[in-house]
Amino acid sequence: MTNLPGKIEQTVGDLYGWRTWIEFGFKQAKDELGWADYRVTDYHAIERWWELVMSVATLVALESPAFTGPDPATASSPLLIHPHWDGGPGWKRTLNNLRLLLQPYVCAFLLFPWFRVLPLPHLQAGLADLCALMNTFHPVFPT
């Protein structure tokens, strides 16, 4: 009911008809922003969620053309001779190859504190050479 003069039933009816579409739009926006979930989540759970989201994004990114094969210029790289290097298709292959590239760095940083206790110059030099070799790997970037 209104106290406005004139016949406004049609105008009010038309405006009220928009209500359904506006609520539908708000629901879609709330769903996209994650505001439709009415719950309080602790920080640790939110961190785990974003870790999963970023892991999936990494898996998808690793299947991009940049990581699909070796650069023809580095096709003779000693990295590709490794017995566990897999040149086939698929994200498991890509993750395995990425793990192979990161392992020398992880091992080196785990061993560096021990070199203060027990200096092994040949092992230190070998790890430095291996890390330098890892730095020569460049994925193929599409042009």
Q: Residue 131: name the closest of 98, 101, 110, 111 by CA.
A: 101
Indicate whether 127 belongs to any domain. Answer: yes
Residues 6+ apart with CB under 8 A from 89: 68
Token duo for residue 11 = 């105008």
pLDDT in tens, 95-120: 787 788 788 888 888 888 888 888 88
Indicate whether 57 belongs to any domain. Answer: no
Indicate whether 74 belongs to any domain. Answer: yes
pLDDT in tens, 18-48: 888 888 888 888 777 776 666 667 888 888 8
- Residue 143's pLDDT band, with cuts at 50, 70 and 90, is very low
d(CA 41, CA 46): 7
Task: Give me the number of domains the chain comprises.
Answer: 1
Residue 102 lies in domain: 70-134
Q: Is the dihedral of CA 78, 82, 86, 92 positive or negative?
A: negative
pTM reported for the whole predicted model: 0.44
Indicate whether 45 belongs to any domain. Answer: no
- Residue 68's pLDDT band, with cuts at 50, 70 and 90, is low
Indicate whether 124 belongs to any domain. Answer: yes
